[in-house]
Amino acid sequence: MKKNTAFKEFFRGGFLFLVLLFLYLPILLLAVYSFTSSTQIGAIRAFSLKNYITLFTTPELTDMILGTVFLALGSAVIATLLGTMGAIGAFYSKRSASSFITTLNQVPVVNADVVTGFSICILLVIVLHISKESYIPLVAGHVTLCAPFVFLSVMPRIKQMDSSIYEAALDLGATPFAALREVVIPQIVPGIISGFALAVTLSLDDYFIAMYTKPATFDTISTYVVNATKGAQTTIKTALWALSTVIFLIVVLVVLGINLRANRREKEMGRFGRERGGAGKGGRNAEFMD
Amino acid sequence: MHFSRKSLGIPYAVFLIAFVLAPLLVLAFYAFTNGQGQFTMANLHSFFGDPNTLGTLFYSFAIACVTTIVCLLLAYPVAYFLAMSRIANKTVVLMLFVMPMWINFSLRITALKEILTVIEGNLAMYPFLNAVIGMTYDFLPFMILPLYTTISKIDGNLREAAMDLGADNMRTFLQVTLPLSIPGIVSGVSMVFLPAMTNYVVLDMLYNSTYIMGSLIGSYFAAYNWHGGSMISLILLALICIFTLLTGSGEEETARGGAML
């Protein structure tokens, strides 16, 4: 019986490991080869930082990276403002207005990005003749992609909120606006932050919306990489390996940071909880999964 | 002016009308008109009357079905083993499975392409296989996350009750865990199936030149044929509507980009 469980554990662990290997092997191999002068995986060449130098000194590449980051941050800020206000407004509106917003909000979420991008291009560029060079279609497209997810991550927080605190603030003489700012917003901040983070990652990962709405001379990482893989310029190709490695490292660091912080908070909460009779554990998971 | 919380929703409502509703209406208008702005069914006929485009629809379905099944077969055990295991730092392991979501997909596919080239030599030899591998590689985390969330929420007492009542492991799984995890399966499938029908860049990057539904829009876009492209978009929208109605995925579990964080 015991042997059987050990085998089961081993089999399960092995399966998880193989799937992880599938997910990470390509990225890790590319990371290793990004530090060599090799132009293809498998060929063994000497250690070299050439790819990283190319990556950070070629204006074409640095412009593209900075452009992508600015676009992501800018669209995420607008999307977070709109989505948060929308969620608060929808929650306190009449049922019909609220379900109108919620339904429309769901469209970009379930829709294919190709269709979202194409339809925005048709409306803004073809019908309204707004030039793509103005960046308006691009930003509008990315905000349309991101705002609904901000809305969806803020809404549960508003629903969980204790509505009597807002009423209490009003009774104590706060204006509705002050009550909103001092009472409501602080309670939904976790939702706003995760909505913002989600918006940034969605914008960074987008290809289709940018493809259909971007100015001809502007590239995001995705549109650039897709074009670069079609052409066969090797210095650029291998510099992108370096980019992939840098992004991978940033993601690892961010994830580690979030985990460490959450762990510390859990420990503090745990201590706090023990003093007050063991309540308050396990909050982290819920917070993470929201 | 008197401030009210309701009025906060107005900018977002206006935004949704301008950038979600209006584009869809324009799309519908363009799909049923020609270059002179006259009403026509020609775009619809040219889609359903052309064996090539119907073939594209079929090929998209094939790729999407196979990708979804492969993702499910890989993701379900991962989610199940992880949810059932007693290791201390489950969130960290889950993070490992979800983290690829946050790395730019085009860079990840580039990495996959390099490794596939070493294994297969000429990528063009196995177009369908590569498309499925590429899509699976891209979308697997989106399947794992909702499955894990659902399975880990299942009350362990239910399983124990089943065992106490004499069910063996297999039966407990088939009659308790599996049925209760269906919402996760549904949401995972909807995260994978539609992108697999439309994300033509994965195919492009892996040298699969066969069209899927998304590529049709791309090619009409490249040819400045807004009317043809609108019709394909509308057909895709109709498919998405049917799919959403079938799966009934309302607000819950819209895990794209990670319900994480």
DSSP characters for chain A? -HHHHHHHHHHHHHHHHHHHHHHHHHHHHHHHHHTBS-SSTT----B--HHHHHHHH-HHHHHHHHHHHHHHHHHHHHHHHHHHHHHHHHHHS-HHHHHHHHHHHHHHHHS-HHHHHHHHIIIIIIIS---GGGSHHHHHHHHHHHHHHHHHHHHHHHHHS-HHHHHHHHHTT--HHHHIIIIIHHHHHHHHHHHHHHHHHHHHH--HHHHHHS-TT---HHHHHHHHHHS--HHHHHHHHHHHHHHHHHHHHHHHHHHHHHHHHHHHHHHHHHHTTS-S-SHHHHHHH-
Domain contains A133 = yes
**What per-residue confidence (pLDDT) applies to B261?**
38
For the cut 50, the answer to whether the pLDDT of residue B206 exceeds it is yes
Res A285: pLDDT: 32
Look at residue B85 and tell me if it is in a domain.
yes
Adjacent-strand bridge partners of A47: A36
pLDDT of residue B244: 82
pLDDT at B255 over 70: no
Q: Does A213 lie in the same domain as A111?
A: yes
Tokens matching residue A31? 């990371």
Task: Count CB atoms within 10 A of the CB of residue B160.
Answer: 12
**Does the pLDDT at position A278 exceed 60?**
no
What residue type is A91 in one-letter code? F
Distance between CA atoms of residues A108 and B19, nearest Å = 10
Split into its structural domains, chain B has a count of: 1
Indicate if the pLDDT at residue A273 is higher than 90: no
- The answer to whether position A85 is within a domain reads yes
Confidence label for A243 from pLDDT (cuts 50, 70 and 90): very high
**A156 in any annotated domain:** yes
Q: Which residues of B touch A24 (CB under 8 A)?
A: 100
What is the C-alpha separation between A56 and B144, in angstroms, rounded? Answer: 35
In this prediction, residues B27-43 reach a mean pLDDT of 87
Predicted confidence band of residue A286 (pLDDT cuts 50, 70, 90): very low
Query: Which residues in chain B have their CB less than 8 angstroms from residue A254's CB?
Result: 102
Instruction: Give residue B1's pLDDT.
Output: 47
Q: Which residue has the higher pLDDT, A286 or B99?
A: B99
* Nearest-angstrom CA–CA distance, B242 and A151: 24
Q: What is the mean pLDDT of residues A229-240?
A: 80
Residue A281 has pLDDT above 50, yes or no: no
Q: Determine the residue of chain B that is closest to A9 in CA distance.
A: B85
Looking at per-residue pLDDT, the higher value among B20 and A234 belongs to B20
**CATH classification at residue B119:** 1.10.3720.10
Most confident by average pLDDT, A180-189, B75-84, B171-180: B75-84
ipTM over 0.90: no
Establish if B180 touches chain A: CB-CB under 8 angstroms: no
> Which residues in A lie closer than 8 A to residue B11 (C-beta atoms)?
82, 85-86
Q: Label residue B166 by pLDDT band (50, 70, 90).
A: confident
Statement: residue A108 has pLDDT above 60? yes
Q: Residue B254's pLDDT is what? A: 46
Residue A13, in any domain of the structure? no
**Sign of the alpha-carbon torsion through A240, A244, A246, A250:** positive
CATH of the domain at A190: 1.10.3720.10
What band does B45 get if pLDDT is binned at 50, 70 and 90? confident
The mean pLDDT of B170-178, rounded to a whole number, is 88
In a domain, A6, yes or no: no
Band of residue A271 on the pLDDT scale cut at 50, 70, 90: low
User: Same structural domain for residues A126 and A262?
Assistant: no
pLDDT-derived band of residue B77, with 50, 70 and 90 as boundaries?
Answer: very high
Among the residue ranges A80-94, A97-111, B21-35, B41-55, the one predicted with the least confidence is: B41-55
Reported confidence tier of residue B248, pLDDT bands at 50, 70, 90: low
Task: Give the pLDDT of residue B101.
Answer: 87
pLDDT at A279: 32
**Which of A42, A105, A112 minimises the CB distance to B16?**
A105
Rounded CA-CA distance A229/B152 in Å is 40
A102, closest residue in chain B (CA to CA): B251
Residue B25 within a domain: no
Q: Is the pLDDT of residue A274 over 60?
A: no
Cβ separation A118–B229 shorter than 8 A: yes
State the average pLDDT for chain B.
87
- DSSP string for B219-243: HHHHTT-HHHHHHHHHHHHHHHHHH
Indicate whether A118 and A142 sit together in one domain: yes
DSSP structure class, residue B188: H
> What does the pLDDT look like over A164-202, one tens digit per residue?
888 888 899 888 888 888 888 888 999 999 999 999 999
Residues A81 and A186 reside in one and the same domain = yes
Residue A148 structure tokens: 């609904």
CB-based contact A288 B22, cutoff 8 Å = no
- What is the predicted pLDDT for the residue at B2? 56
Beta-carbon contacts below 8 Å between A and B: 271
Range of the domain at B134: 55-225
What's the domain count of chain A?
Answer: 2
Range of the domain at A284: 233-290
Residues A253 and A155 grouped into a single domain: no
More confident residue, B194 or A42: B194
pLDDT digits (tens, 9 = 90+) for A147-156: 999 999 999 9
Model confidence at B63: pLDDT above 60: yes
Asked whether residue B210 is domain-assigned, the answer is: yes
Backbone φ and ψ of A47, nearest 5°: -60, 140
For CA atoms A182, A183, A184, A186, the dihedral sign is positive
Q: What is the pLDDT of residue A2?
A: 56
User: Chain A neighbours among B 214-243 (CB < 8 Å)?
Assistant: 214, 217-218, 221, 226, 229-230, 233, 236-237, 240
